[in-house]
A and B are shown apart, each in its own frame.
Chain A
Amino acid sequence: MNERIIHILIDSFPKIILPGIAMTIPLTVIAFSLALIIGLVTAMIQFANVKVLKPLARFYVWVVRGTPLLVQLFVVFYGLPSVGILIDPFPAAVIVFAINEGAYSAETIRSALEAVPAGQLEAGYCAGMTYMQTMRRIVLPQALRTAVPPLSNSVIAMLKDTSLAANITVAEMLMATQRAVSVYYEPLWLYLEVGLIYLLFTTLFTWLQRRLEKRLNRSVKGAQNA
């Protein structure tokens, strides 16, 4: 690695990481938050066996999980304008990522809900609580603890998948890197650089996951001394 490369890497670093901070991270955080809400509602509908809505929930999961994310992005961004629905790149990406991840989160949360022993719900009933009270106070907190590791996996996967949004003209990190490549003609070093920045971001999320898990695990391991 000569001086020129080092100079290029330093020069391009802010050009790549700034779109990361301005686009990649917000896209991930906003879309994933929405996905959690969609996933929670979809999972609850299936768990509680809600009539009419349950087949709809299953249909949603089936379609979204069964089609490529990139195709979904193209349908929304390039396809919908032909029926008069025009959405800007960033909101289009948020919508697609939220709907896509919502289907996966729904399955994660549903299996976590099913992993909570049935006796917990019955104990809530016998304590005089309603279904919703028991779900909110007893079952969901326990399910969420089970769901955190797989959901964290999903956040990290989504953070990396946001690079696909470059295909619908969202000026995120990969697109910024492609621009830098066309300026400096150093594809190897610049793509390695953006890879390292992704690694930096995912490391940050992994660290947050560990902290969250530690907090949630308190009730399980000898917390009486806390």
Chain B
Amino acid sequence: MLEVRGLFKSFGQSEILRGIDLTVEKGDVIAIIGPSGSGKTTLLRCMNYLERADAGQMVFDDVTYDMKLVTKKEILDIRRRTGFVFQNYNLFANKTALKNITEGLTTARKIPAEEARETGLRMLEKVGLAGYEDYYPASLSGGQQQRVAIARAIAPDPEVIYFDEPTSALDPELTKEVLEVMRALAAEGSTMVVVTHEMAFAKNVANKVIFMEGGRIVEAADAETFFAAPAQDRSREFLHGLDY
């Protein structure tokens, strides 16, 4: 369904991504793991064009895009078929929880307000926040904000949802409530690409694992295989001593 080939990205002198190839099938839950600074977040941001790649190709629903020369219109079209969840939530500070969800439906996709509202309320219920529709982000906990952000990302029914370290800013208890929601999404068959440090999530929820280091993919494997018997020495070393 989604394929990235030969993705390169530098910031100034430092090369962040050095040739990434990646395939996402429908229904995949892919965990991207690896040490800090390995390029995981940049990879995800390039895939949604928050960063412009220096080189690379993307095949999305059988259409090929040049990731460097892609047009504004194509980017808009790609983004309208994807969802993105940020590490620090990035809820619209001037909008209520419900409006955060409906904004992308009414403004970007021209869905009638009433229909968008119904979808919004259904999404809030889905992430366990029924009754919170009129709360502004500032009066929600981090876990609640992230769940609203997930509701916002899934409301347009995207083909793939990107998660950029969705629980890294949360304490263990709040992490748990966010992971519950993500687990439920995965169980429904949502296609998800998750940059995460939560090894338990990668092991128990993801079906594929991509281990990155130094801007390259060190190992890409089934989650089960990866955790039971990593093929690369570096993967073994990384997993060794991690508590999960």
- Number of A positions contacting B (CB below 8 A): 25
Give the one of B90, B94, B135, B156 with max A CB within 10 A. B94
Q: How far is the CB of B33 from chain A (nearest CB, A)?
A: 22
A133-B107, A220-B136, A224-B136 given; A126·B88 CB < 8 A? no
Q: How many residues of B contact A (CB 8 A)?
A: 32
Contact assessment for B104 and A128 in the assembled complex, using a CB-CB cutoff below 8 Å: yes
Cα–Cα distance between A221 and B132 once the two chains are bound (Å): 15
Stretch at the interface among A99-107, A137-145, A154-162, A179-187: A137-145
Does B238 touch A at the CB level, under 8 Å? no
A141 to B95, CA, bound (A): 10
Q: How far is the CA of A219 from the CA of B140 in the complex (A)?
A: 12
* Chain A residues whose C-beta falls within 8 Å of the C-beta of B82 in the assembled complex: 126
Are the CB atoms of A137 and B103 closer together than 8 Å? yes
**Cα–Cα, bound, A164→B177 (Å):** 63
Q: Is the CB of A127 within 8 A of B91?
A: no
**A78 within 8 A of partner (CB):** no
B90 engages A123 (CB within 8 Å): yes
Tell me if B84 and A126 are in contact (CB < 8 A).
yes
Q: Once the chains bind, are A126 and B83 in contact (CB under 8 Å)? A: yes
Chain A residues near B135 (CB, 8 Å)?
A: 223-224
Could you tell me the distance between the alpha carbons of A120 and B24 in the complex, rounded to whole angstroms?
A: 28
**A120 to B202 CA separation, bound complex (whole angstroms):** 28
Bound CA–CA A129/B138 (angstroms) = 23
What is the CA–CA distance of A191 and B230 in the complex, to the nearest angstrom?
A: 87
From A126, A141, A223, B79 is in contact (CB under 8 Å) with: A126
For B104, list chain A residues within 8 Å (CB). Answer: 127-129
* B228 interface hit (Cβ, 8 Å): no
Q: Which residues of A contact B79 (CB under 8 A)?
A: 125-126, 128
A89 at the interface (CB under 8 A from B): no
Query: Closest Cβ of chain A: how far from B44's Cβ, in Å?
Result: 11
Cβ–Cβ < 8 Å partners of A141 in chain B: 94
Cβ–Cβ contact A128 & B91, under 8 A: no
Per the bound structure, the CA–CA distance linking A94 and B79 in Å amounts to 46
Q: In chain A, what residue has the closest Cβ to B48?
A: A126
A222 part of interface (Cβ distance < 8 Å): yes
Q: Is residue A153 within 8 Å, beta carbon to beta carbon, of the partner chain?
A: no
Q: Which residues of A contact B50 (CB under 8 A)?
A: 122, 125-126
Q: Are A224 and B134 in contact (CB under 8 A)?
A: yes
Identify the closest chain B residue to A224 (Cβ).
B135
A130: Cβ under 8 A from any B Cβ = yes
Q: What is the minimal beta-carbon distance from B13 to any residue of chain A, in angstroms?
A: 23
| Nearest CB of A to B226, in Å | 29
Interface residues of B in 74-101 (CB under 8 A from A): 76, 79-80, 82-84, 86, 88, 90-96
Q: Does A68 contact B (CB under 8 A)?
A: no
A138 and B94: CB pair below 8 A? Answer: yes
Residues 110-121 of A, flagged 1 when their CB comes within 8 A of B and 0 if not, give 000000010110
Q: Is the CB of B108 within 8 A of A127?
A: yes
The answer to whether A142 touches B139, judged by C-beta atoms less than 8 angstroms apart, is no
B109 interface hit (Cβ, 8 Å): yes
B152 interface residue (CB < 8 Å to A): yes
CA distance A127 to B94 in the complex (A): 15
Distance (Å) between the CB of B30 and the closest chain A CB? 18
B108, A219: Cβ atoms under 8 Å?
no
What are 21 contact pairs spanning A and B, CB under 8 A?
Answer: A117-B90, A124-B92, A125-B79, A126-B86, A127-B103, A127-B108, A128-B80, A129-B107, A137-B107, A138-B92, A138-B103, A142-B93, A142-B94, A145-B94, A220-B138, A222-B138, A223-B134, A223-B136, A223-B139, A224-B132, A226-B134
Residues of chain B whose beta carbon lies under 8 Å from any beta carbon of chain A: 48-50, 76, 79-80, 82-84, 86, 88, 90-96, 103-104, 107-109, 132, 134-136, 138-139, 152-153, 156
Identify 6 new A-B residue pairs, CB closer than 8 A, beyond the known A117-B90, A222-B136.
Answer: A125-B48, A127-B108, A129-B107, A130-B108, A138-B95, A141-B94
